[in-house]
Chain A
């Protein structure tokens, strides 16, 4: 079959969008892989949160550390990147009315990513990599763990390359006129950040792999940290950029919002590309070796200009919704547009909750404790408190919101349980908010992250009391349970739609 032929396309009867069928298959497959990893990570989330909640302490110590290691990698890398690849293929083909350039390469990338993800997950479950997501040397894992991460990164890099090539060729073939849509623009920004990130991942994990095999004898722990965080945090900046693109998409899908000013929104994405990765140095704020000047300059995201980018989106997205709502006649007073917003529409609920959690808890806590007060936050529960608000309450929820439209569009099946989908973002949002605030408060009391039992000690020295942490850890634990219920509702809707959803034309 000639994949450039018109027969390789179908036109969606609801949206009028033209869908390239080979791309559609890849989008569905990558999204399914993403949801499977989300399911694994979610089950582990429940187990480890109920262990950190000291009065419950569900797991024994070794399983807690093992499951925490799997949870980190599965959620921060596999779930999110598989979904992002699906999103890239969508933004590069369907939104541009274009074909996916080389579907075969897309499948090759998928196989590499899946093989790598399965390999490193199994090795960790088997006890071969109880070294956390960060895998700080000289803690050593089984070589297959590093190899798995490398395979995944190479596969993801190929997928990103395929997306970028698809966008370029679509322009050449005149599949669209003028500039790319704003959502695709945001995804391109994410893809550019991804190239930097994945190459850094290879630079840190290839020597770690060789070191685990005994081919190279040592790996400087300070150098490892610099290199690892050129992968570890930028990976979250891919999520940021992709999430903001999804926010714009959800605003349009649910309220008909248009970007109020294309120039300003695109400029904000440009600020991300240029400056956001510098901020990764904040992981090294209390490390030896780096100079104070280096730390201050880099951790500020270059004069906080990347933060300026986020503040621009924080203005543009609600402004777009307000303008669209007012045009519909909801123009009374200051806030009728907001009161009359489609709060029961799953995509709008996901947008609103994700926007608030990311902005008011995630972003602010990151800027404050990543840089300003790092010395009293480093390695305390404040850190996971921050990134559960960004990556879970922000990115994951935004992606769930998009999935409620992407799944029916791609599978031509009606969403199962729309009422559940409408409630899901709120349930999930309440859970993640409690989880994050519980962690943040615990961290402010000094409670360390990644520790099995804060009351235990070996040398006959009593552990610190962390007065009040019994309450804050309980808030975290209850929040985790609610969030997992919300996550389970999402997975249930996605799976049931895929398997039993009523067929549409």
Chain B
């Protein structure tokens, strides 16, 4: 008998003690990890509350333009700096290869951040916190986010979106 030849006629033999023990431990560990997946959400607050809506690209662009116009407080290198009302809806549109605004948020306040794309798939990677989301065109992805520490954060696109992809860096400023 070998792994390269047909086994003897009756090969379904009971497991020995060591095998039973190993399988039992491995199974217990598998189940522990599964319930861990639920647990991180319940205890560790690991799963962000997210909602998704269908949206037309033009519609989302309009919402973003209106939002920018209403709440822009300045510009940095030609990019509008937008300070939304506390706890309000925030629209951030990704397009090759820029973000629609630099956001100025307040520490400890929950915002509904709407993410969408005007063209390709993009990634929303908040650094240095290292939180990552996938952004798709025609999907309005609403992430409820409460900044918990003042400072400057970068928003890096981490989904390949064409030759200028690596230049696509935005910013979120969190004030006290």
- Show the binding face of A for B, using Cβ within 8 Å: 61-62, 65, 95, 130-132, 134, 136, 138-139, 176-183, 220-222, 225, 248-249, 251-253, 256-264, 284, 286-289, 292, 296, 299-300, 303-305, 307-308, 311-312, 315, 319-320, 367, 371-372, 375-380, 446, 448-454, 456-466
CB distance from A51 to the nearest CB of B (A): 11
Cross-interface CB contact of B3 among A65, A258, A312, A452, cutoff 8 Å:
A258
Interface set, chain B 136-176, CB cutoff 8 A to A: 136-141, 154, 156-171
Q: State whether A139 and B166 are in contact (beta carbons under 8 Å apart), knowing that A446-B130, A460-B76 are contacts in the complex.
A: no
Contacts of A458 in B (CB 8 A): 97-98, 164, 167-169
- Show the binding face of B for A, using Cβ within 8 Å: 1-9, 11-13, 15-16, 18-19, 22-23, 26-27, 29-31, 33-34, 36-38, 40-41, 46-48, 50, 52, 76-79, 97-99, 102, 119-121, 123, 125, 127-128, 130-134, 136-141, 154, 156-171
B3/A257 in contact, CB under 8 A: yes
Cross-interface CB contact of A457 among B4, B137, B141, B167, cutoff 8 Å:
B167
Cross-interface CB contact of B19 among A132, A257, A261, A453, cutoff 8 Å:
A261
B6/A176 in contact, CB under 8 A: yes
Cross-interface CB contact of B159 among A136, A176, A252, A299, cutoff 8 Å:
A136
- State A176–B23 Cα separation when bound (angstroms): 31
A312/B23 in contact, CB under 8 A: yes
Contacts of A253 in B (CB 8 A): 4
- State A70–B5 Cα separation when bound (angstroms): 39
Interface of A is mostly: loop
Q: State whether A139 and B121 are in contact (beta carbons under 8 Å apart), knowing that A315-B22, A464-B127 are contacts in the complex.
A: yes
A139/B167 in contact, CB under 8 A: no
Contacts of A136 in B (CB 8 A): 120-121, 159-160
Contacts of A251 in B (CB 8 A): 3
A179/B6 in contact, CB under 8 A: yes
Residue of A nearest to B132 (CB): A378
B166/A303 in contact, CB under 8 A: no
B136/A262 in contact, CB under 8 A: no
- State A371–B40 Cα separation when bound (angstroms): 11
Contacts of B136 in A (CB 8 A): 221-222, 225, 287-288
Contacts of A263 in B (CB 8 A): 11-13, 15
Q: Which of A177, A256, A259, A451 has the most CB of B within 10 A?
A: A451
Residue of B nearest to A136 (CB): B121
- State A450–B168 Cα separation when bound (angstroms): 13
Contacts of B23 in A (CB 8 A): 264, 308, 312
- State A248–B5 Cα separation when bound (angstroms): 11
Contacts of A179 in B (CB 8 A): 6-7, 11
- State A249–B2 Cα separation when bound (angstroms): 9
Residue of A nearest to B32 (CB): A304
A305/B3 in contact, CB under 8 A: no
- State A197–B53 Cα separation when bound (angstroms): 30
- State A464–B158 Cα separation when bound (angstroms): 13
Q: State whether A450 and B98 are in contact (beta carbons under 8 Å apart), knowing that A139-B120, A263-B13, A375-B46 are contacts in the complex.
A: no
Cross-interface CB contact of B162 among A139, A258, A307, A315, cutoff 8 Å:
A139
- State A292–B156 Cα separation when bound (angstroms): 25
Q: State whether A379 and B159 are in contact (beta carbons under 8 Å apart), knowing that A179-B7, A261-B19, A459-B77 are contacts in the complex.
A: yes
B19/A315 in contact, CB under 8 A: yes
- State A251–B3 Cα separation when bound (angstroms): 9
- State A307–B7 Cα separation when bound (angstroms): 25
- State A307–B36 Cα separation when bound (angstroms): 15
A181/B19 in contact, CB under 8 A: no
- CB-defined A-B contacts under 8 Å, sample of 21: A61-B163, A136-B159, A177-B9, A178-B11, A181-B3, A182-B7, A257-B2, A284-B134, A304-B29, A304-B30, A311-B22, A312-B26, A372-B37, A446-B125, A446-B127, A450-B158, A450-B160, A451-B165, A458-B97, A461-B170, A463-B156
A304/B156 in contact, CB under 8 A: no
Contacts of B26 in A (CB 8 A): 308, 311-312, 315
Contacts of B125 in A (CB 8 A): 379-380, 446, 448
Contacts of B46 in A (CB 8 A): 375
A180/B130 in contact, CB under 8 A: no
Cross-interface CB contact of A221 among B79, B121, B154, B157, cutoff 8 Å:
B121
- State A172–B159 Cα separation when bound (angstroms): 51
- State A260–B130 Cα separation when bound (angstroms): 45
Cross-interface CB contact of A264 among B15, B34, B162, B166, cutoff 8 Å:
B15
- State A261–B6 Cα separation when bound (angstroms): 13
A375/B31 in contact, CB under 8 A: no
Contacts of A379 in B (CB 8 A): 123, 125, 132, 134, 158-159
Q: Which of B8, B160, B162 has the most CB of A within 10 A?
A: B160
B47/A221 in contact, CB under 8 A: no
A376/B130 in contact, CB under 8 A: yes
Cross-interface CB contact of A453 among B134, B158, B166, cutoff 8 Å:
B166
- State A386–B58 Cα separation when bound (angstroms): 38
A288/B50 in contact, CB under 8 A: yes
Q: State whether A308 and B30 are in contact (beta carbons under 8 Å apart), knowing that A262-B12, A446-B127, A449-B158 are contacts in the complex.
A: yes
A287/B41 in contact, CB under 8 A: no
A264/B19 in contact, CB under 8 A: yes
A292/B41 in contact, CB under 8 A: yes
Contacts of B102 in A (CB 8 A): 461
Contacts of A65 in B (CB 8 A): 160, 163, 165
CB distance from A327 to the nearest CB of B (A): 13
Across the A-B interface, give the 3 residue pairs with the lowest CB-CB distance, nearest first. A460-B77, A304-B30, A448-B158
